[in-house]
């Protein structure tokens, strides 16, 4: 029976995403100067204020206040009328040293015996309904806001746009579990004040349909067949969205974990990513299970898959690996047998995850908005400045868990051509 499924996304100017981006910028700066840093940084943003808290074990000092302000400016909060501005907001740091009790459970004499930084379960998901093996509703929701952000930064059209925005896409699926059309699109974007509210609403609605949507169709022609005149559009449905960002709503690190992952498809273990170094399996194992899931689908083992791994704090070996192919397996074995084979292909001990995915690089700032999964793996040049004026230039690999570098190994393990 056909059904509807919805996913949402939020822009880099959303208060929770502001917090995520600050936390991950701190992670990157700590790792740039000390790759073995242990980090758990939380950020709170509200009207005119930023509060940094958490635990760090590191052999260097970084200027956390300056880093926070740089992130806020880069997002676009640079005007006093936003009531949250990069150079005038207060920044309070309450970051202190990591608990020795936690640290002794993670660090070992042998690196390969490194224990998990926390207990919990992590999930990875992949589906072949898109080229990047992501759920289509979430992929569209992200892309709508990426294009809206590009329009804002270009400053040629929709000049009234402010940084905060949200999107939501509802798809109709057919009896074969395939997306066939877009049922509804929701766009809520912060904007400058208009003299007349009715004129404002009409202008933004028109611009979304005539400026934003055509850019989506041009940039992502593979989605063209899903768009039609029957789509229900809800553009700024409250009627006005001038007050936004951290002034409109307090932001906290880790409150957009479904946006960060699969838009409600598959499952989520509950642990956030941003602000954590890779010894925290909430982050590293979630990336590792996505890596497994994506390579599994790309290898042709199944059309859709959910992979779960779980850990006890301080213990290297995971509690177990679970696989659910939703009945789409192309090999003559059950999901338990598939999981058993995967255990021999992917070493899920924390140290080996870090090594396999090169997670001790300062690679996390780019993850902190528009999703950690489904992105394009790429190598970039980065520059970091220390508190004492030193400069470090590095080549950094981003989104390593999105590589299809294990397809051949998976095919060999499952005897596929």
Domain 16-107: give its CATH code: 3.30.300.10
Contact 125, 296 (CB under 8 A): no
Q: Which residues define the annotated binding site for K(+)?
A: 42
Domain boundaries, the chain: 3-10+135-245, 16-107, 120-128+273-413
Q: What is the pLDDT of residue 195?
A: 78
Q: What is the pLDDT of residue 152?
A: 98
Its CATH class, for the domain covering 3-10+135-245, is alpha beta
Contact 124, 310 (CB under 8 A): no
Is residue 108 scored above 80 in pLDDT?
A: no
Q: What is the pLDDT of residue 265?
A: 96
Q: Which residues define the annotated binding site for Mg(2+)?
A: 16
Q: Which residues define the annotated binding site for L-methionine?
A: 55, 98, 249, 280
β-pairing, 251-252 vs 38-46, is: antiparallel
Sign of CA dihedral 83, 88, 89, 90: negative
The pair of structure tokens assigned to 82 is: 């936003």
Percent of the chain with pLDDT over 90: 88
- Helix, strand, coil share of the chain (percent; to 5): 35, 25, 40
- The one-character DSSP state at 98 is P
The model's pLDDT over 125-151, given as tens digits with 9 standing for 90+, comes to 999 999 999 999 999 999 999 999 999
pTM for the model: 0.96
Q: Which residues define the annotated binding site?
A: 14, 16, 42, 55, 98, 164-166, 240-241, 249, 255-256, 272, 276, 280
Quick one: average pLDDT of 46-63?
A: 95
Q: Which of 50, 55, 95 is nearest to 73 (CA)?
A: 50
Least confident of 24-38, 52-66, 86-100, 290-304: 86-100
What b/e string do you get for 226-238 counting C-beta neighbours within 10 Å, with b at 16 or more?
A: bbeeebeeebbee
Name the one residue in this structure whose structure tokens are 């709170």: 44
Quick one: average pLDDT of 149-176?
A: 97
Is residue 187 scored above 70 in pLDDT?
A: yes
Crossing angle of the two packed helices 15-33 and 64-75, in degrees rounded to 10: 130
| pLDDT band for position 382 (cuts 50, 70, 90) | very high
Quick one: average pLDDT of 15-43?
A: 97
Q: What is the pLDDT of residue 112?
A: 74
Is residue 162 scored above 70 in pLDDT?
A: yes
- pLDDT: which is higher, 223 or 105: 223
> In whole angstroms, what is the distance from residue 351 CA to residue 405 CA?
19
| Domains 3-10+135-245 and 16-107 agree in fold | yes
CA distances (Å), origin 210, targets 161, 182, 215, 217, 351? 15, 17, 9, 11, 50
Contact 164, 14 (CB under 8 A): yes
Q: Which residues define the annotated binding site for ATP?
A: 14, 164-166, 240-241, 249, 255-256, 272, 276
- CATH 3.30.300.10 for domain 120-128+273-413: yes
Is residue 193 scored above 60 in pLDDT?
A: yes
The sheet with strand 161-173 has its strands ordered as 3-10, 161-173, 179-191, 232-235
């Amino acid at each position: 029976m056909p059904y509807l499924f919805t996913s949402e996304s939020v822009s880099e100017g959303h208060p929770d995403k502001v917090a995520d981006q600050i936390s991950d910028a701190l992670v990157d700066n700590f790792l740039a100067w000390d790759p073995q840093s242990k980090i758990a940084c939380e950020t709170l943003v509200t009207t005119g204020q930023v509060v940094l808290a958490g635990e760090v074990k590191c052999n260097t000092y970084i200027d956390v206040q300056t880093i926070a302000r740089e992130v806020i400016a880069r997002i676009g909060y640079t005007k006093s009328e936003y009531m949250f501005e990069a150079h005038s907001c207060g920044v309070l740091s309450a970051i202190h040293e990591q608990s020795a009790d936690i640290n002794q459970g993670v660090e070992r004499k042998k690196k390969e015996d490194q224990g998990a930084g926390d207990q919990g379960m992590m999930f990875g998901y992949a589906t072949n309904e898109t080229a990047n093996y992501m759920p289509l509703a979430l992929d569209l929701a992200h892309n709508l806001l990426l294009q809206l952000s590009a329009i804002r930064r270009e400053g040629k059209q929709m000049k009234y746009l402010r940084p905060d925005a949200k999107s939501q896409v509802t798809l109709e699926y057919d009896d074969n579990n395939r997306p066939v059309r877009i049922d509804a699109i929701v766009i809520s974007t912060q904007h400058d004040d208009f003299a007349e509210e009715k004129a404002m609403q009409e202008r933004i609605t028109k611009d979304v349909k005539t400026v934003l949507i055509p850019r989506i169709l041009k940039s992502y022609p593979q989605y063209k067949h899903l768009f039609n005149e029957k789509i229900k559009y809800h553009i700024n449905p409250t009627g006005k969205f001038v007050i936004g960002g951290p002034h409109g709503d307090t932001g906290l690190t880790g409150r957009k974990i479904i946006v960060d992952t699969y838009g409600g498809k598959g499952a989520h273990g509950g642990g956030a990513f941003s602000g954590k170094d890779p010894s925290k399996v909430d982050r590293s194992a979630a990336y590792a299970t996505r890596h497994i899931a994506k390579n599994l689908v790309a290898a042709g083992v199944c059309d859709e898959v959910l992979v779960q791994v779980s850990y006890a704090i301080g213990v290297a070996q995971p509690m177990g690996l679970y696989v659910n192919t939703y009945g789409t397996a192309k090999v003559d074995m059950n999901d338990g047998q598939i999981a058993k084979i995967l255990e021999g292909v992917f070493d899920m001990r924390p140290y080996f995850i870090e090594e396999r995915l090169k997670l001790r690089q300062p690679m996390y700032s780019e993850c902190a908005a528009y999703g950690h999964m489904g992105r394009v793996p790429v190598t970039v040049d980065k520059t970091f400045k220390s508190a004492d004026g030193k400069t470090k230039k590095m080549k950094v690999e981003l989104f390593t868990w999105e590589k299809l570098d294990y397809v051949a190994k998976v095919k060999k393990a499952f005897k596929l051509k």
